[in-house]
C-alpha cells in the first residue's frame, strides 16, 4: 500500500472514531501560513504546542540529535529527538530546576533568551528578534504555555503539492506547499514549519523554505517532514530529448516491461538492446541457481534455434537442486542462521548441527515451492511440541533426529524453532528488531529510543510493537522438570556435577546409544489473571503473563494480546492482510534485487517513507500479483526472469550509462561470495566432477555451509568466502554481506595457493585434458588448412598493429622510429608465414597430441560461458606457440581467464 493510500485509510478510520465526516475533512479550507499570520506585532492568535511550537523547535534544530534532542541532552536540558514526546517536552520546558519558560515575565524566558543570544548559547543564534518565529514562541508563552490535552486533534496526514516535479533544465525552481490535516477536519498550510531533505543533491537541492532547484538530469526525491508525516516527492529531469511523446516505441511484452518503460519515457532514458544468448544463460544461471553453466550446456543453448529457449531454460533452472540451495542460503541470511549464536540450546546438540537443521528446513520448503506466507508462518508461530504431543513424546522425537541411527529429520517438522533460541534474540526488543528486518524489510532500531528520523515510527510505536514477542520462551515448560530429572537419572547423568560442555558431551554419548534425552522447548505460556492491586514483580526470572495487555502492529490497530493463547498469531494475521504495506512488498523487493543487484527500494531492508521506491507502480504491481498468486515464489522468479527488462544487455548507451536504478540496462556486479567460490571450483574441476555438482549440492558453497561468528575466516574455503564478503549473519541486516571489490580478492585469485592448486592439481581440468588420449590429427588436410588460416590471422593482426605504430610515429615526427618500423614492415611482408611455428607449439614427447582449438574453446566456455572471439583464439594460440608447452600454456590460459573481470562479474 502506498503512503497516500495508507494515509487515506487512516483518515477514514480516525474520522469514523472521532465523529468527523470524511466529506467535511475533504472540503475544509486551508488555514493561512503561520509566517503570514504572525508577520505583524499585533497578532493575537495563540499558537498550539503540538501544531506550531514543537515543529518550529524542530525547524530551528533545537530537538535535533546535535542539540537538545541528543540522548544526553545539552546544557542540562533535554528534548525528545525530533519532538515525538509532547508531554515530556512540555514538562522539560516548563518544569524542573531551571524551566525554559517564564509565563510571568515572558522576555526572561530562557526559551527566548538563549536562541536570541541574549545570554550565551552553545548552539549559537537560532532566533532573530522581530521575526514571525519569535512571535510564535512569545505568544505561546504569554498565553500560559499550554500543553496538549484531550481536546488536541490527532495528526492525520501531510499533503504536499506538487506531488511530482519534472524539470526541463538545470536551475529550474519549484515551490513546495505542505498542508497538515487533523482529525477535527482542520487543514493548515504548514510549509514554514516543515523540514526538507533531498535524497540526491546531484539531481535536486531544496532549501529550508521548500524551494526545490533542479541540479542535473536523472531522478530522485525530496522529502518533507512535519509532525508524524513523511512525504517523498519525486523529482526528475530528462537525460535526453527523447522523453514523453518523443520516446521511441519499444517492445513491452510483459507488465514489468510496460511499467519500466513508462518511467524511462519520462526520463528520456533509452533501453539497451537485448543481451546475447551467452550472456543470458550465464546471467540467469548465476542469479537463479548460483551456478556457472557447464561448457556443454552453453554450447547446446547457443546451438538451439527455437524461439522459446530462454523461457524453457528458466523453467528448467527452477527445478534444479541448485535453485533451492542458493535461495535457501539467501533465506538463511535474512533469518540470521548463525551457528555462533546457537550454542545455548541446552540439549547437547552441536551448534553446527542446529545450523544445518535450520538450512535444511528452509531448503526443503524452497525446493517444494511452499508458499512464502506458509514458510513465514512456520518460523513466526514456531513451538517445539506438535499437536497433542506430551513432553516425553517430544523428547523421544527430538532425540531421534540426533541419534547415531537417525529417525527422521528436523527439516520435516512444521516449525523452525531455532530462529527463536539464538543468543541475542531473547529479549522482546531484540526480537522486534530482527523480525522487522526479516519479514518487513524495515529498520526500526532508532525508534527504541526516539522518533525515527526518516519514518513515522515513535518510541511508543516500538514499545507497543515489541509486546508481541514477550511471551515466547525457551527452556523448561511448566510441569516438565520432574520428567527431565527422571530422564537424566535413568541415563546415569549427574547434572549437579556436570555442567556446560561436559554435560553436553554426556548427552551426546547417550544420544549416540539410541537413548532418549531431555530437550528444552519453545513454548508460549498462557495468560493469567492477577490481582490488580498486587503489582507485577519485574525481578522474576519469568515475568507473569497478565491478561488484558495490549500491543499494536506498526501503523495498524491495537490488539488485546492478553486474551490470546499466542500473540504472534495476531502478527501473522496482520502480515497476510492485503492492507499490510511491508510483508509481501519486502520479499518481492529482495527477490527482485537478487536478479538486478539493486532493489526497487534500496537498501532492500529499508522500506521507509523517506526511502521510496525508484518505480512505485512496478513494486505495487509485483506485490499485488504475488499476493494474488498466493505467495508463489517460483511464479515471482519466473515472472522477473522472463521479462525483457531482465534480459537487456549490459552494454550502455549515452542515455543510460550513468543510471543504476531504473533498469534500462543490466548493471554488471561482482558475484556473491559463495557463487564466486563455486564458480572458481567449477571452472577448474574435471568434467566428471563438474557434472556431479549439477545434481548434488555436496561440497557446494551455495548450499549448506556453516556461518559461525565465533570462527569467521578459519579454514581454506571460509577464508575465500570471507574475503569475498559472505554474510556474517550477525544482525539480520543486509549490511552483513559485502559486495565491494578489494585488493585481497585480487591477491587471492592471482596468488593464493588454493587457487593455484585448483588449476594445477591432480584430477582437475588441466590434468584431465592433458591425460586424454587425443589422436594426433595434424596430418589431416582439414586440420592443416585450419592451422594455416590461424597463422594468417596472426600475421594480419601483427601487420595491422605495426602499421598503427608507424602511423603514430609519423604523426609525432619520430623519424628514427619511423625508419625502424618501415624496415620491420618490409621484412614482415617479404617473409612467408610458417603455420606450424605460429599455431602448433612444441609438444613434449611425454604429452599426447593436443587439439589446441578445442582446448581454447573449452577454456572460454567453462570460465566465461561463451565462445572465444577470433582475436582471442589467435592470441591464445600464439601464446601456446611462444611457450612451446601445452601444459604450461593451458594452465596459464585458465589462470588468465579466472582473473578477468568478466569471470568474477555477472553481466
* pLDDT band at residue 526 using 50, 70 and 90 as cut-offs: confident
Paired residues of 221 in beta bridges: 234
Residues contacting 883, CB < 8 A, separation 6+: 841, 889, 892
* pLDDT band at residue 17 using 50, 70 and 90 as cut-offs: very low
pLDDT at 5 over 50: no
Question: Can you say whether the dihedral through the CA atoms of 41, 42, 48, 52 is positive or negative?
Answer: negative
DSSP assignment, residue 320?
S
For every residue of 603-614, which 3-state class applies, written as one string?
CCCCCCCCCCCC
Question: Can you say whether the dihedral through the CA atoms of 228, 233, 234, 237 is positive or negative?
Answer: negative
Alpha carbon 34 to chain centroid, angstroms: 42
**Which of 80-94, 281-295, 428-442 has the weakest average pLDDT?**
80-94
pLDDT at 786 over 50: no
pLDDT at position 880 is 93
pLDDT at 4 over 90: no
Instruction: Count Cβ atoms within 10 A of the Cβ of residue 333 and give its class: 0-12 exposed, 13-18 middle, 19 or more buried.
Output: buried
Q: Over the stretch 853-898, which tens digit does the pLDDT of each residue have?
A: 999 999 999 999 999 999 999 999 999 999 889 999 999 999 999 9
pLDDT at position 798 is 59
DSSP assignment, residue 441?
-
Query: What does the radius of gyration of the chain's CA atoms come to, in whole angstroms?
Result: 34
pLDDT higher at 180 or 64? 180
pLDDT at 162 over 90: yes
Residue with cell 490481582: 531
Q: How far apart are CA 340 and CA 346, in angstroms?
A: 14
Query: Whose CA is closest to 678, among 322, 260, 377?
Result: 322
Q: How far apart are CA 56 and CA 53, in angstroms?
A: 5
Question: pLDDT > 70: what percent of the chain?
Answer: 86
Q: How far apart are CA 478 and CA 146, in angstroms?
A: 52
pLDDT at position 797 is 54
Instruction: Count Cβ atoms within 10 A of the Cβ of residue 126 and give its class: 0-12 exposed, 13-18 middle, 19 or more buried.
Output: middle
Are 265 and 243 in contact by the 8 Å Cβ rule? The answer is yes
- The grid coordinates listed for 473 are 520462551
Average pLDDT of the residues in 662-671: 97
pLDDT at position 595 is 98
pLDDT at 596 over 80: yes
- The grid coordinates listed for 662 are 531504473
- The grid coordinates listed for 30 are 486551508
Paired residues of 30 in beta bridges: 187
- Alpha helices by DSSP H, listed for 418-521, are 428-435, 459-465, 481-491, 500-512
Q: In this structure, how many other beta carbons lie within 10 angstroms of the beta carbon of residue 611?
A: 18
What angle, rounded to 10 degrees, do the helices at 781-812 and 815-830 form? 160
Measured torsion, CA atoms of residues 519, 523, 529, 530, in degrees rounded to the nearest 10: 50
pLDDT at position 796 is 60
Phi, psi of 91 (to 5 degrees): -65, -40
Does an H or E element contain 120, and which?
none
Are 384 and 410 in contact by the 8 Å Cβ rule? The answer is no
Exposed e or buried b per residue across 221-233, where buried means at least 16 C-beta atoms within 10 angstroms of its C-beta:
bbbbbbbbbbbbb
Q: How far apart are CA 731 and CA 716, in angstroms?
A: 25
Query: Whose CA is closest to 141, among 119, 111, 121, 115?
Result: 111
Question: ∠ at Cα 801 (796, 805), nearest 5°?
Answer: 145
Residue with cell 523461457: 311
| C-alpha distances in Å from residue 102, one per residue of 127, 580, 793 | 18, 47, 93
Residues contacting 193, CB < 8 A, separation 6+: 34, 52, 55, 56, 58, 59, 226
Phi, psi of 358 (to 5 degrees): -55, -50
DSSP assignment, residue 825?
H
Express the helix, strand and coil content of the chain in percent, nearest 5 each.
Answer: 50, 10, 45
pLDDT at position 8 is 36
Residue with cell 510505536: 461
Average model confidence (pLDDT) for the chain?
87
What angle, rounded to 10 degrees, do the helices at 481-491 and 391-402 form? 50
Paired residues of 475 in beta bridges: 521
pLDDT at position 500 is 82
Instruction: Count Cβ atoms within 10 A of the Cβ of residue 837 and give its class: 0-12 exposed, 13-18 middle, 19 or more buried.
Output: exposed
Instruction: Count Cβ atoms within 10 A of the Cβ of residue 31 and give its class: 0-12 exposed, 13-18 middle, 19 or more buried.
Output: middle
pLDDT at position 533 is 56
SS3 205: strand
Alpha carbon 323 to chain centroid, angstroms: 19
* pLDDT band at residue 570 using 50, 70 and 90 as cut-offs: very high
SS3 209: coil
The number of helix segments (H) and strand segments (E) in the chain equals 36, 17
Residues contacting 91, CB < 8 A, separation 6+: none
| C-alpha distances in Å from residue 857, one per residue of 53, 64, 157, 769 | 74, 63, 63, 13
pLDDT at position 64 is 80
Q: Over the stretch 673-731, which tens digit does the pLDDT of each residue have?
A: 999 999 999 999 999 999 999 999 999 999 988 888 776 544 556 889 999 999 999 88
Q: Over the stretch 462-521, which tens digit does the pLDDT of each residue have?
A: 889 999 999 999 999 999 999 999 999 999 998 888 888 888 889 889 998 999 999 999
Q: How far apart are CA 525 and CA 788, in angstroms?
A: 83
pLDDT higher at 731 or 378? 378
Bridging pattern class, strands 211-214 and 204-206: antiparallel
Instruction: Count Cβ atoms within 10 A of the Cβ of residue 340 and give its class: 0-12 exposed, 13-18 middle, 19 or more buried.
Output: buried
Are 876 and 868 in contact by the 8 Å Cβ rule? The answer is yes
Amino acid at each position: 500500500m502506498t503512503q497516500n493510500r495508507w494515509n487515506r485509510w487512516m483518515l477514514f478510520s480516525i474520522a469514523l472514531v472521532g465523529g468527523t465526516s470524511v466529506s467535511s475533512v475533504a472540503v475544509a479550507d486551508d488555514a493561512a501560513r503561520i509566517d503570514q499570520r504572525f508577520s505583524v506585532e499585533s497578532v493575537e492568535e495563540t499558537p498550539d504546542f503540538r501544531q506550531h511550537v514543537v515543529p518550529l523547535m524542530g525547524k530551528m534544530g533545537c530537538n535535533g540529535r546535535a542539540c537538545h534532542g541528543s540522548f544526553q541532552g545539552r546544557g542540562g536540558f533535554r528534548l525528545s529527538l525530533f519532538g515525538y514526546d509532547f508531554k515530556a517536552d512540555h514538562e522539560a520546558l516548563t518544569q524542573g530546576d531551571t524551566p525554559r519558560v517564564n509565563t510571568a515575565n515572558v522576555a526572561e524566558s530562557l526559551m527566548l533568551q538563549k536562541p536570541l543570544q541574549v545570554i550565551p548559547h552553545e548552539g549559537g543564534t537560532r532566533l532573530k528578534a522581530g521575526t514571525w518565529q519569535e512571535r510564535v514562541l512569545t505568544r505561546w508563552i504569554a498565553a500560559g504555555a499550554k500543553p496538549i490535552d484531550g481536546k488536541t486533534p490527532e495528526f492525520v496526514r501531510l499533503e504536499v503539492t506538487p506531488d511530482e516535479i519534472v524539470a526541463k533544465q538545470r536551475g529550474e525552481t519549484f515551490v513546495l506547499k505542505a498542508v497538515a490535516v487533523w482529525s477535527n477536519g482542520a487543514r493548515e498550510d504548514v510549509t514554514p514549519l516543515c523540514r526538507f531533505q533531498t535524497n540526491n543533491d546531484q539531481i535536486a537541492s531544496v532549501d529550508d523554505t521548500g524551494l526545490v532547484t533542479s541540479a542535473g538530469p536523472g531522478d530522485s526525491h525530496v522529502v518533507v517532514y512535519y509532525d508524524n508525516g513523511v512525504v517523498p516527492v519525486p523529482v526528475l529531469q530528462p537525460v535526453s530529448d527523447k522523453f514523453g511523446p518523443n520516446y521511441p516505441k519499444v517492445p513491452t511484452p510483459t507488465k514489468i516491461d510496460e511499467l519500466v518503460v513508462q518511467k524511462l519515457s519520462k526520463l528520456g532514458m533509452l533501453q539497451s538492446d537485448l543481451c546475447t544468448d551467452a550472456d543470458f544463460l550465464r546471467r540467469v544461471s548465476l542469479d537463479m541457481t548460483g551456478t556457472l553453466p557447464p561448457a556443454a550446456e552453453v554450447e547446446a543453448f547457443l546451438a538451439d534455434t527455437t524461439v522459446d529457449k530462454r523461457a524453457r531454460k528458466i523453467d528448467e533452472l527452477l527445478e534444479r537442486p541448485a535453485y533451492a540451495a542458493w535461495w535457501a542460503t539467501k533465506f538463511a541470511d535474512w533469518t540470521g542462521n548463525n551457528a555462533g549464536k546457537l550454542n545455548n540450546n541446552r540439549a547437547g546438540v552441536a551448534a553446527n548441527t542446529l545450523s544445518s537443521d535450520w538450512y535444511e528446513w528452509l531448503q526443503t520448503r524452497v525446493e517444494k515451492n511452499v508458499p512464502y506466507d506458509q514458510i513465514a508462518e512456520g518460523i513466526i508461530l514456531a513451538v517445539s511440541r506438535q499437536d497433542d504431543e506430551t513432553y516425553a513424546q517430544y523428547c523421544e522425537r527430538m532425540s531421534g533426529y540426533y541419534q547415531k541411527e537417525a529417525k527422521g529429520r528436523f527439516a520435516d517438522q512444521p516449525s523452525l524453532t531455532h530462529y527463536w533460541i539464538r543468543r541475542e534474540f531473547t529479549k522482546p526488543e531484540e526480537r522486534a528488531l530482527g523480525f522487522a528486518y526479516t519479514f518487513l524489510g524495515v529498520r526500526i532500531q532508532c525508534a527504541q529510543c526516539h522518533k525515527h528520523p526518516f519514518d513515522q515510527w515513535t518510541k511508543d510505536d516500538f514499545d507497543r510493537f515489541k509486546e508481541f514477542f514477550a511471551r515466547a520462551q525457551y527452556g523448561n515448560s511448566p510441569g516438565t522438570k520432574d520428567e527431565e530429572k527422571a530422564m537424566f537419572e535413568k541415563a546415569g547423568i549427574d547434572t549437579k556435577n556436570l555442567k556446560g560442555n561436559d554435560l553436553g558431551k554426556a548427552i551426546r554419548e547417550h544420544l549416540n546409544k539410541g537413548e532418549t534425552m531431555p530437550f528444552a522447548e519453545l513454548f508460549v505460556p498462557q495468560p493469567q489473571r492477577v490481582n490488580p492491586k498486587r503489582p507485577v514483580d519485574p525481578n522474576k526470572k519469568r515475568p507473569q503473563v497478565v491478561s488484558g495487555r495490549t500491543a499494536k502492529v506498526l501503523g495498524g490497530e491495537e490488539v488485546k494480546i492478553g486474551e490470546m493463547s499466542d500473540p504472534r498469531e495476531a502478527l501473522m494475521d496482520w502480515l497476510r492482510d492485503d492492507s499490510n504495506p511491508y510483508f509481501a512488498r519486502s520479499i518481492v523487493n529482495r527477490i527482485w534485487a537478487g536478479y538486478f543487484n539493486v532493489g526497487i527500494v534500496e537498501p532492500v531492508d529499508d522500506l521507509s517513507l523517506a526511502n521510496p521506491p525508484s518505480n512505485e507502480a512496478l513494486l505495487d504491481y509485483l506485490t499485488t500479483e504475488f499476493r494474488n498468486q498466493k505467495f508463489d515464489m517460483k511464479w515471482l522468479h519466473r515472472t522477473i526472469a522472463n521479462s525483457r527488462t531482465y534480459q537487456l544487455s549490459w552494454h550502455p548507451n549515452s542515455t543510460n550509462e550513468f543510471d543504476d536504478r531504473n533498469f534500462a540496462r543490466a548493471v554488471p556486479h561482482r558475484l556473491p561470495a559463495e557463487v564466486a567460490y563455486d564458480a572458481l571450483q567449477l571452472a577448474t574441476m574435471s568434467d566428471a566432477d563438474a557434472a556431479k555438482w549439477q545434481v548434488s549440492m555436496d561440497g557446494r558453497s551455495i548450499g549448506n555451509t556453516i556461518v559461525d561468528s565465533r570462527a569467521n575466516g578459519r579454514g581454506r574455503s571460509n577464508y575465500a568466502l570471507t574475503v569475498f564478503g559472505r554474510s556474517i549473519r550477525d544482525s539480520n541486516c543486509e549490511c552483513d554481506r559485502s559486495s565491494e571489490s578489494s585488493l585481497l580478492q585480487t591477491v587471492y585469485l592471482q596468488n593464493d595457493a588454493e587457487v593455484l592448486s585448483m588449476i594445477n592439481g591432480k584430477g582437475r581440468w588441466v590434468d584431465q585434458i592433458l591425460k586424454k588420449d587425443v589422436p594426433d590429427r595434424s596430418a589431416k588436410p582439414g586440420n592443416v588448412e585450419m592451422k594455416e588460416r590461424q597463422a594468417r590471422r596472426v600475421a594480419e593482426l601483427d601487420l595491422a598493429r605495426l602499421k598503427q605504430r608507424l602511423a603514430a610515429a609519423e604523426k609525432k615526427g619520430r623519424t628514427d622510429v619511423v625508419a625502424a618500423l618501415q624496415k620491420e614492415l618490409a621484412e614482415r611482408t617479404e617473409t612467408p608465414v610458417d603455420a606450424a611455428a605460429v599455431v602448433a607449439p612444441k609438444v613434449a614427447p611425454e604429452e599426447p597430441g593436443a587439439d589446441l582449438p578445442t582446448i581454447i574453446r573449452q577454456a572460454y566456455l567453462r570460465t566465461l560461458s561463451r565462445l572465444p572471439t577470433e582475436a582471442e583464439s589467435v592470441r591464445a594460440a600464439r601464446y601456446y606457440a611462444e611457450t612451446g608447452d601445452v601444459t604450461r600454456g593451458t594452465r596459464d590460459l585458465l589462470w588468465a581467464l579466472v582473473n578477468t573481470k568478466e569471470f568474477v562479474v555477472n553481466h
